[in-house]
A and B are shown apart, each in its own frame.
Chain A
Amino acid sequence: MSAQWDVLSQQGYQFFGKMSASISHEIKNTLAIINENVGLLQDFLAMAQKGKPLDQNRLRSLSEKVLDQVRRADDIVRNLNRFAHSADEPVTSVDVNDMVRFLSSLCRRFVSMRGITLDLKPSSKPLTIETNPFLLENLLWLCLDFAMDVTGKENKLSILCEKAQQGARIRFTGLKGLREASARIFPDNPERALLQALDAEFHVDNEAEEMALTLPGHRAP
């Protein structure tokens, strides 16, 4: 048990660090865009002082771009806040559809860096389970990271959420390189520790080019 928690703790720190670093990059990018747009506004004002008339449409467009980036930064920070609070409770109600949407939003920079298109297919009804949200986020990230490696750059990766007999299932489909990737150990120690902690099951189907994560409806604290 202690060895499993050591793995979970180390993996959890790595996951938290990776997400935090990515989020800080995204915030830096929004600040950089605001910086350039405000800088351009100052350039126009300096030119106006020298007699060049101000273009009101251009000023309006610049202010809208700044507001767009403020909204974007607000979304990013809201995600960060939700992510930070996901470690608050060892077991709580989670809608798997919502969790997958949240994680893909949290990881959007990793997805875009690989040029991958994510196609999310939530189930039509909520898929509520009782689980540890932070551990589930961590496991979903590791599955997504592996699935993106297998999918390859500039391809489409589909994630489907569906009801399972006792809980919920998340399927990663369109994994064209799955058979070739079988030499790579997945799930490895960190994933196995998370699967065990979440009472979850993992299944790979090379023929169907997909992998599936099945989560129980209830997990003991």
Chain B
Amino acid sequence: MDDEKELVSTLAERLSLRGIEADWVTDVNDALERVETREYDIAVLDVKIPKMTGIELKKKLEKKSPHMKFLFMTGHGSENDFKAGVAEAGAEYYLPKPVNIEVLIEKMHKATEK
């Protein structure tokens, strides 16, 4: 989930090419609706999204789908901002934009193995 459609749709396509079935949404309400009808192993969320933060969305999604794991992406520019985000979400669940897809997949595997 990211409010940048061109980013999230392309990322989902690249994951699909690597054998990872991926859906994408650009709106928090769509994200919340989607987990009602499908089960997901992991959600990749932008930290800053319209209407609420990625951390708030994570909490709502966790209530609906307690087994789902989470990764965060961020456009935070500075190292201090990045460290603050890491502290809030947990280091291994945090990736700076632009995302390296191989690193993203590695983190996804690590998160879902837990």
A residues near B (Cβ < 8 Å) are: 21, 24-26, 28-29, 31-37, 39-40, 43, 47, 65, 68-69, 112-115, 153-154
B residues near A (Cβ < 8 Å) are: 3-4, 6-7, 10-11, 13-14, 17, 48-51, 73, 75-77, 81, 97-99, 101
CA distance A28 to B7 in the complex (A): 11
Q: A39-B101, A114-B50 are in contact. Are A25 and B77 (CB under 8 A)?
A: yes
Provide 12 A-B residue pairs closer than 8 Å at the C-beta atoms, listed in order of the A residue: A21-B77, A28-B97, A31-B98, A32-B4, A32-B7, A32-B97, A32-B98, A36-B10, A37-B6, A47-B17, A112-B3, A114-B50
Closest CB of chain A to B24's CB: distance in Å?
A: 11
Closest B residue, CB atoms, query A37:
B10
Closest A residue, CB atoms, query B96:
A28
CB pair A36–B14 under 8 Å, yes or no, is: yes
CB pair B7–A29 under 8 Å, yes or no, is: yes
CB pair B75–A40 under 8 Å, yes or no, is: no
CB pair B14–A32 under 8 Å, yes or no, is: no
CB pair A32–B50 under 8 Å, yes or no, is: no
Q: Which of A29, A37, A47 contacts B97 (CB 8 A)?
A: A29
B81: A residues at CB distance < 8 A? 21
Closest B residue, CB atoms, query A109:
B48
Q: Which of A35, A43, A153 contacts B99 (CB 8 A)?
A: A35
CB pair A113–B48 under 8 Å, yes or no, is: yes
CB pair B75–A29 under 8 Å, yes or no, is: yes
Closest B residue, CB atoms, query A34:
B98
Sort A-B residue pairs by CB-CB distance and give the 4 closest, nearest first.
A35-B98, A28-B75, A24-B77, A36-B10
Closest CB of chain A to B20's CB: distance in Å?
A: 13
CB pair A40–B4 under 8 Å, yes or no, is: no
CB pair B4–A115 under 8 Å, yes or no, is: no
Q: A24-B77, A25-B75, A113-B50 are in contact. Are A33 and B6 (CB under 8 A)?
A: yes
Closest CB of chain A to B37's CB: distance in Å?
A: 24
A29: B residues at CB distance < 8 A? 4, 7, 75, 97
CB pair A33–B77 under 8 Å, yes or no, is: no
Q: A29-B97, A32-B75 are in contact. Are A43 and B50 (CB under 8 A)?
A: no
Closest B residue, CB atoms, query A26:
B75
B99: A residues at CB distance < 8 A? 32, 35-36
CB pair A33–B4 under 8 Å, yes or no, is: yes
CA distance A31 to B6 in the complex (A): 11
